[in-house]
Amino acid sequence: MKKLIYVFGFLLITGCSVNEQANNERQSVPEADYTLTKDQTHNRWSSAIEPVLTVPSGSVIQVATEEASDGQLNINSTLEDLKNVSFDPIHPLTGPVYVEDAQPGDVLKVTLHKVGMGEWGWTAIVPGFGFLADEFDEPYLKTYELGKDKKSVQFLEGINIPLKPFPGVMGVAPATDSMLSTIPPRANGGNMDDPDMTEGTVIYFPVFVEGALFSIGDAHAAQGAGEVCGTAIEAPMNIVYEVEVIKGGRTIQEPQYETEESFAVTGFGTTIDEAARKATRYMIDYLVEEHGMERQDAYALCSLAGDLKIAEVVDVPHMLVSMHMPKEVLRE
């Protein structure tokens, strides 16, 4: 098995102590066992989509991902080009990857070892799309020069945006042969657009179908929590990730994840209220099941130390909220 950047998540789900987790150090990016190109893609969620690769648990995969328009835009694109963009090919996802031994009820652990930026990116306001779609009805497009060594980009004179690349869409196949849109987040993950799921993050997905059928794409070079105008800095990326099947551990209903600082749960809903309530319940469940708390204590701790965060509010009909619990609170 390859070295991991973070191994916290597997240990938490299988019951090892937080102290044991804290003793693990960040490791170098492992060498990839498999490579996928940006033309090995699909843009729907379905158990009927054939995998492009089959791998054993513990494999490291390097993938290239295309930007969200699937090549309809480039760094020299104009507003006229934006007006002609079709939503049909939106969100090209590299995959699916079939992970051997993954079965419904298992958990697929995905470690983001490396998220490397491509050479350019774009941000747009598309009339009719976005959190304030009824207020902004004129198209808008801005492009940026990026590159693997770039740390920030100039948005306007005197305004620079730090770059923090992450994949906006990640997920496993849902238990349906219908071809579902990639636009909203769901229980299988999907278009979560959570800017905390960056390099080094470990994400856990509930497995719904044999082989899990994991896909990834829609990478962002930078995005604020909420993604309110409907786009981030959309950019092609090169991503190295690792997949591992977890059997016999804690079951989860929706994706959960952790960084070096926090353990987090996600909840989607048609309103922020619904999503926030689900995220709060999932964190309570985690504290009860993994840390042996009484449910009332877990609820109170969520109020004292848990942080609700809006990931995105634009991917109708669903919104996504996460709750983060600092690991320093949970250390023995």
**SS3 call for 67:** coil
Q: Quote the mean pLDDT of the chain.
A: 92
Q: Is the pLDDT of residue 17 over 50?
A: no
The residue type found at 100 is: E
Mean predicted confidence (pLDDT) in 245-274: 97
Q: What is the pLDDT of residues 201-232, one digit of tens each?
A: 999 999 999 999 999 999 999 999 999 999 99
pLDDT digit string, tens, across residues 140-166 = 999 999 998 999 999 999 999 999 999
Average the pLDDT over 266-285 and give the result.
98
Tell me what the mean pLDDT of segment 179-187 comes to: 97
Longest distance between any two alpha carbons in the chain, whole Å: 58
Given this model, what pLDDT does residue 27 score? Answer: 55
Nearest to 32 by CA among 114, 142, 145, 118: 114
* Bond prior to 317 in cis (omega within 30° of 0): yes
What integer is the mean pLDDT of 304-311? 98
Average pLDDT for 182-211: 98
pLDDT value at residue 291:
96
Lowest mean pLDDT among 23-27, 170-174, 298-302: 23-27
Looking at residue 2, its pLDDT comes to 39
Confidence of residue 194 (pLDDT cuts 50, 70, 90): very high
Examine the pLDDT at 12 and tell me if it is beyond 70: no
Give the Cα-Cα-Cα angle 302, 304, 307 (nearest 5 degrees). Answer: 60
End-to-end CA distance of the chain: 28
Beta-bridge partners for 109? 204, 244
The yes-or-no verdict on residue 302 having pLDDT over 50 is yes
- Per-residue pLDDT averaged across 253-270, rounded? 98
Q: What is the pLDDT of residue 332?
A: 59
Percent of the chain with pLDDT over 70: 92
Q: What is the mean pLDDT of residues 115-140?
A: 96
pTM over 0.85: yes
Phi, psi of 272 (to 5 degrees): -60, -40
Start-end of H helices in 94-206: none
How far lies 307's CA from each of 8, 10, 232, 302, in Å? 19, 22, 23, 8
Range 8-255: architecture per CATH? Sandwich (2.60)
Check residue 331 and give its pLDDT: 81
Q: Is 263 helix (H, G, I), strand (E, B) or coil?
A: strand
Q: Tens of pLDDT along 38-95?
A: 999 999 999 999 999 999 999 999 999 999 999 999 999 999 999 999 999 999 999 9
How does residue 28 score in pLDDT terms, banded at 50, 70 and 90?
confident
